[in-house]
Chains A and B, each alone.
Chain A
Amino acid sequence: MTALLDMDQLLDDLEKGLRKRLEERGVTDPALIGIRTGGVWLADVMSKRLGLKEPWGELDISFYRDDFSRIGLNPKVKPSSLPFSTEDRDIILIDDVIMSGRTIRAAMNEIFDYGRPASIILATLVDLGARELPVQPDVTGRVLALQSHQRVKLRGPAPLHIELQETGK
C-alpha cells in the first residue's frame, strides 16, 4: 500500500497530468480552487509547482451538501474564500479523493454562485471509483480499488501523506 502511495510520485503525476490538460485546452491563466481541507493543501502545492502567481481559492461546500436534509449542517463549516471572480475564468478544481462524486457536484454549484466560469478542469489526487454521480476527474494521481470497509484520507499539510482507514463495516 505504502509503495503504491508514494506522495512525491503522486504529486509529480498530478502536476504532469495538469500541465498536459492545460496545454490541450490552451489554458494559459488558470485560477486554482481547492476543496477544504485536503484539496486546499493540494492547491497550495500545485499552485507553486505550476508557478501560478494568483493566490488560490478555497471552498467549504457545507452549504451545498446534499445530505443536509439527513444529517443537518456541518458544525465545523468555515467561510469559503475566492480571491478572484470565477466569471469567464478557466478553473482548476482540486480535491484529495473522489469517490461518489457528490462533493464535486456541490463544489461546482458553489463555484457558479461566484460567476459563470469559462471551463473547469477537475483534478483529484486519488480516485477510489464507486461513483454515484456522472462526475469524472480530468486528471488523477492514482486510481485505487479499495475494499468496501476501507477509506483513504489525506493528512497534512506538511508533510502530506495518505492514510488508510478501516471503517469496521
Chain B
Amino acid sequence: MTANDPSSTSLQLTADGQLRHFLTLDGLDRALLTEILDTADSFIEVGERSIKKVPLLRGRTVVNLFFESSTRTRSTFELAAKRLSADVLNLDINTSATSKGESLSDTLLNLEAMASDMFVVRHSQSGAPHFIAESVTPGVAIINAGDGRHAHPTQAMLDMLTIRQHKGRFEGLKVAIVGDVLHSRVARSQIRALNELGAAEVRVIAPATLLPRDVESLGCTVEYDMKRGMKDLDVVIMLRLQKERMEGALLPSEREFYRLYGLNREKLALADPGCIVMHPGPINRGVEIESAVADGPQSVILNQVTNGIAIRMAVMSMAMGGQMAERNRKLAERVEG
C-alpha cells in the first residue's frame, strides 16, 4: 500500500465520482477538494445556530475506532458525528477486546454485525484504513483519522479551510511547513492538498535529519535555514515535535531545536506582515513555538480546531451519502435487470 497507489482512487470514489471512503488526498482532484471545503463552509454556519444539528446521518451508527490515542481528533470526530445526528460509539482499542487477543478482522466483523455504517479509523500502521476499506461490507464508509506516517487527510483539509478563510484563495500563496516532517502524516497530506489547490510554493523547513529522503518528490522546496525560509511567507504551519521520537538521536536537544527551528516573534517578523501561524496541536510551547506567537494576533490555531468539526462533518456526510447513493443505484440495476 503506497501513498500513490492508483487503486486508492477507485476505492475512495463511486463510479459517479462521489466520495464513499476518505482515506487519502491522493487521487482526489481540485474540484473534489473544493467541494469538501465548500460543504464544510455550510457546516460552519450550522455550528452557529441555536440547534447545532442537522438530520443527515440520523439513524446511522458511526464507530470511532482508535488504535492510537488522540483527544482532539477523536472528540472533534465525535462532535461532528453527533451534529450530523448519528449515534456514536467510541472504541479505544487498548481497553477493548483486541487486548484480549481478538484480531482486527474479528473486531470489525463484530462491529459490522452491530449494523455500523461508518468507521473512523486511527492506526499507527500506515495503510490500516485502506485495508479495512478493502475488506469491509459494501455500504460501510471508512474515514482515515490518521494512519502511521502515511496520511491525515481531515487534518490537512481543515488546515486548507483555515487558509482559505484567512487568505481567500490558494493561488499565489507561499506556505512553509516547519519541523518534524519525517514523522508527520499531516505534512504529507498538507503538501498534497496545497499543490492540488494551486499554492505557488510549498516549502519545508527542517534539519536534514527530520526530512524524509526525496522529500522534494512530494512537491515542495527544502530550506534548512529557517530565517531564510521565512522570507515572503503567507502561511507558516508548525508541526509538533514528536518528543517520543527524540530517542533516535535525530536532534541534539530541544533547546537547540527551538533556537534553530522554533517560531518566535523575531523569526515571524521576517515573513509577510499578513502571515498566519498554524499548528495542528497539541503545541509544545517553547519547543516549536513561543507562547507570544501561539497566542498572538497572527495565530489561527483555535480556528483550526473549530474548522476541524466542520471538515469532519463534510467528509462524513459526503462519504455516507456516496455509499447510500451507490447502494441505491445497485438496487435499481438489480430491479431493472
Q: Do A and B come from one complex?
A: yes
What is the interface of chain A, defined by CB distance below 8 A to chain B? Answer: 60, 62-64, 68-73, 75-81, 85, 87, 109, 112-115
Instruction: Give the residues in chain B near A78, CB-CB below 8 Å.
Output: 38, 41-42
Q: What distance in Å separates the Cβ of A105 from its nearest Cβ neighbour in chain B?
A: 12
Task: Note all chain B residues with C-beta closer than 8 A to A63.
Answer: 42, 46, 54-56, 317
Are A109 and B42 CB-contacts (below 8 A) given A69-B324, A70-B324?
Answer: no
CB distance B321 to A79 under 8 Å?
Answer: no
| Interface membership of B18, Cβ < 8 A | yes
Shortest distance between the CB of A113 and any CB in chain B (Å): 4
Give the complex CA separation of A109 and B18 in angstroms: 26
Q: Contact residue range for chain B?
A: 20 to 34
Q: Is the CB of B53 within 8 A of A113?
A: yes
B325 touches A (CB below 8 Å): yes
Give CA–CA (A56, B161) in the complex, Å.
28
Distance (Å) between the CB of A159 and the closest chain B CB?
28
A contacts with B: majority SS: loop
Closest to A65 in B: B56
- Of the candidates A64, A68, A80, A87, the one whose C-beta lies within 8 Å of that of B321 is A68
Q: B45 near A: Cβ within 8 Å?
A: yes
- Most chain-B Cβ atoms within 10 A of its Cβ — which of A81, A109, A113? A113
5 pairs, CB–CB < 8 Å, chain A vs chain B: A63-B55, A68-B56, A77-B38, A81-B45, A113-B49
Residues of B contacting A87 in the complex (Cβ-Cβ under 8 angstroms)? 50
Within 8 A of A (CB), among B279-337: 317-318, 320-322, 324-325, 328
A36 to chain B, nearest CB (A): 11
Given contacts A72-B325, A113-B49, 6 further A-B contacts (CB under 8 A): A63-B42, A68-B56, A68-B324, A71-B328, A85-B50, A113-B51
A5 to B44, CA, bound (A): 39
Determine whether the beta carbon of B55 is less than 8 Å from that of A109. Answer: yes
| CB pair B321 A113 closer than 8 Å | no
State whether A80 touches B45 (Cβ < 8 A).
yes
Cross-chain contact A114 with B42 (CB below 8 angstroms): no
Given known contacts A63-B46, A78-B42, A79-B44, A72 and B55 CB-to-CB distance under 8 angstroms: no
* Inter-chain contacts of A112 with B (CB < 8 A): 51
Q: A73 vs B320: C-alpha distance in the bound complex, in angstroms?
A: 9
| Cβ B49 vs Cβ A114 within 8 A | yes
CA of A89 to CA of B39, assembled, Å: 29
Q: A residues within 8 A CB of B39? A: 73, 75, 77
